[in-house]
Amino acid sequence: MELAELRAKIRDIKDFPTEGVLFKDITTLLKDAPAFHYVVDALARRYRGDRVDVVIGIESRGFIFGGALAHQLNAGFVPVRKLGKLPGKTIEVEYELEYGRDALAVHEDAIRAGQRVLAVDDLLATGGTMAATLRLIQQLGGQVVGVAFMIELGFLHGRDRLKGYPLHSLIVYD
């Protein structure tokens, strides 16, 4: 499958979630079995040799790819969620969004010191959410072996906030 074919399966929604935003809707790609399969396989191929222990997926679309990648890589899966959504003891981190502040949490026993972690989300925009997730991984002593996205909005320069981490995006919109 060509990347142009994948791009054609992603629907643009104007003014969502706020006016002036062009939202990349991936549900149209996810419902297409060959396209979804291709994305998961392509990302898994990229990290197969990295001995990933844990794949961490960010709420909510990161769960879709993170769980599938964890299965393909024979790794565990750890969800990073909004505050108040996880039972048990958690660690949290606050971060800036384009339009406010938010916070993420992960179970305090989700990652053991030294474990090799692949962090996954569907889309890289400004990088704030992933940067916060990487701080959580570091607090738990995890070793980040990769940061993966299906889509990167290159014109927002989110990659700049994630310097120093091995980052891979399957589809880049410049």
Whether 98 has a pLDDT exceeding 70, the answer reads no
114: exposed, middle or buried (Cβ count in 10 Å: 0-12, 13-18, 19+): exposed
Identity of residue 166: P
The question of whether 98 is a catalytic residue gets the answer: yes
Those residues whose C-beta lies under 8 Å from the C-beta of residue 74, and which sit 6 or more positions away, are: none
Does residue 112 contact residue 104 with C-beta atoms inside 8 Å? no
- Rounded mean pLDDT, 142-168: 97
Q: What is the share, in percent, of the chain residues with pLDDT greater than 70?
A: 99
Q: What is the pLDDT of residue 172?
A: 97
- What CATH number has the domain bearing residue 110? 3.40.50.2020
Whether 100 has a pLDDT exceeding 90, the answer reads no
Q: Spell out where the chain has E strands.
A: 11-14, 22-25, 54-58, 76-82, 90-97, 100-107, 116-124, 143-153, 167-173
Provide the residue range defining the domain that includes 149: 3-173
Domains: count for the chain: 1
Q: Spell out where 73-115 has E strands.
A: 76-82, 90-97, 100-107
The single residue of 7, 61, 159, 161 carrying the catalytic annotation is 61
Identity of residue 12: D
Does residue 13 contact residue 21 with C-beta atoms inside 8 Å? no
The single residue of 5, 94, 98, 112 carrying the catalytic annotation is 98
Identity of residue 137: I
Whether 101 has a pLDDT exceeding 80, the answer reads yes
Does residue 156 contact residue 130 with C-beta atoms inside 8 Å? no
| Structure confidence by residue, pLDDT tens digits, 102-141 | 999 999 999 999 999 999 999 999 999 999 999 999 999 9
The question of whether 96 is a catalytic residue gets the answer: no
pTM, to two decimals: 0.95
